[in-house]
Amino acid sequence: MGFLDNLSKTISQGVDRAKFEAEKFQKTTRLQGEANELRRQIDARLAELGQKAYELYRAGQISSATVGELATAIDQLRSALVVKEEELKQAQAEVFVEPTPTPPPSPSQQVPISYEAPAQPQAAATKQCGVCGFTMPTTAMFCPNCGTRVA
């Protein structure tokens, strides 16, 4: 029975460890979610504070060099945003334009301006092989029939 007792103890410890890890995971996940929600609320409040400070600076109720620099940077970013939004609208409004097919050339463009008669084939100058009598072009250096060199 010692083996079964050890096995039971090992399984029990494994179950206890798995339960502990599951509870730990659940607890850390819950705490991370709560911390993230607090960060989100802080970011929202900071954004609200910044908006109020910006509005007060623009209204002349705050005179701080640091706030002034930030307000100027915000104004520049807003101007750039307006330009980008306009570019986006133009890009979204673009449509594909089918290219117009080029018409075939009119018959008047196919008529030649001048007429040249095709060249008539001239009778090729020939010579005969002195050995076998084969007729060949005068430009041949060897007889195509017997292979003799001809001058």
Give the model confidence (pLDDT) of 109-144 as tens digits.
555 555 565 555 555 688 999 999 999 888 888 888
Residue type, 46: L
Contact 145, 129 (CB under 8 A): yes
Q: What sign for the dihedral angle of Cα 2, 4, 7, 9?
A: negative
Strand, helix or coil for residue 34: helix
Please give the Cα distance from 85 to 80 (Å, whole number): 9
User: Is a pLDDT exceeding 60 seen at residue 25?
Assistant: yes
CA separation for the pair 99, 39 (Å, rounded): 55
Q: Calculate what percentage of the chain has a pLDDT beyond 70.
A: 86
Q: What is the pLDDT of residue 76?
A: 92
pLDDT at 34 over 80: yes
Mean pLDDT of 73-81: 90
Q: How many CB atoms lie within 10 A of CB 71?
A: 19
Task: State the chain's mean pLDDT as an integer.
Answer: 85
What distance in Å separates the CA atoms of residue 101 and residue 14, rounded to the nearest whole number? 78
Average pLDDT of the segment spanning 99-117: 65
Mean pLDDT of 55-61: 91
pLDDT of residue 21: 92
Q: Does the structure show a pLDDT above 70 at 106? A: no
AA letter at 133: G
Residue of higher predicted confidence among 60 and 125: 60
Dihedral sign computed on CA atoms, order 119, 121, 125, 129: positive
The size of the chain, in residues, is 151
What interhelical angle do 2-58 and 65-93 show, nearest 10? 100
Which pLDDT score, from 0 to 100, does residue 67 have? 87
What is the reported pLDDT for 63? Answer: 87
